[in-house]
A = this chain, B = another copy of it.
């Protein structure tokens, strides 16, 4: 457990850094035609396998109606397959379709390329240090 003043300072720094990094990365999304909420849901389906609407809503921390719309948009574009649960007819199971996986990979790579460009301006040692620090502090959620 960290000293309070240091915690304070790092929380502030992390907040600013997160805003800066995502704002920078988001510029890559403008090409992609699929918004960040849709990409994020698609990412869960691609790397985490099929999920119900409710599960997706919980993972993405949005309300069910919001996830309904996100999934509808993905479905209209052919990026997910939908089917009824065989054991519970209320439940809709979503699965990433081939085109969805492809678009996700592409959009994700565009974001990572931008962040990489940002990091490549920095010293190797500093980047390695950041890698180590992130590994230490963040467990593998999301």
Select from chain B the residue with minimum beta-carbon distance to A8: B116
Among the 9-residue stretches A9-17, A48-56, A80-88, A91-99, the one with 4 or more Cβ atoms under 8 Å from chain B is A9-17
Pairwise interchain contact B120-A2, C-beta atoms closer than 8 A: yes
Given contacts A3-B124, A130-B137, A133-B130, contact A119 B22 (CB under 8 A): no
Pairwise interchain contact B10-A131, C-beta atoms closer than 8 A: yes
Pairwise interchain contact A142-B16, C-beta atoms closer than 8 A: yes
Cβ 8 A contact of A130, one of B10, B20, B23: B10
Q: Tell me whether chain A's interface is mostly helix, strand or loop, or mixed.
A: helix
> Is A122 in contact with chain B by the CB < 8 A criterion?
yes
Cα-based distance from A20 to B137 in the complex (angstroms): 12
> How many copies altogether?
2
Give every chain B residue within 8 A of A136 (Cβ-Cβ): 122-123, 126, 129-130
Pairwise interchain contact B142-A133, C-beta atoms closer than 8 A: no
Cα-based distance from A40 to B17 in the complex (angstroms): 14
Q: Chain B nearest CB: distance from A30 CB in Å?
A: 11
Pairwise interchain contact B14-A120, C-beta atoms closer than 8 A: no
Give every chain B residue within 8 A of A133 (Cβ-Cβ): 126, 129-130, 132-134
In the A-B complex, the 9 residue pairs with the closest CB atoms = A18-B18, A126-B136, A10-B131, A133-B133, A130-B133, A11-B115, A11-B116, A2-B124, A2-B127
List 30 A-B residue pairs with CB atoms under 8 Å apart, sorted by A's residue number: A2-B120, A2-B122, A2-B124, A7-B116, A7-B127, A8-B112, A10-B119, A10-B127, A11-B115, A11-B118, A13-B131, A14-B21, A14-B115, A14-B134, A15-B21, A15-B115, A18-B18, A19-B22, A19-B40, A20-B138, A22-B22, A23-B61, A27-B61, A122-B136, A123-B136, A126-B133, A126-B136, A129-B132, A132-B133, A133-B134
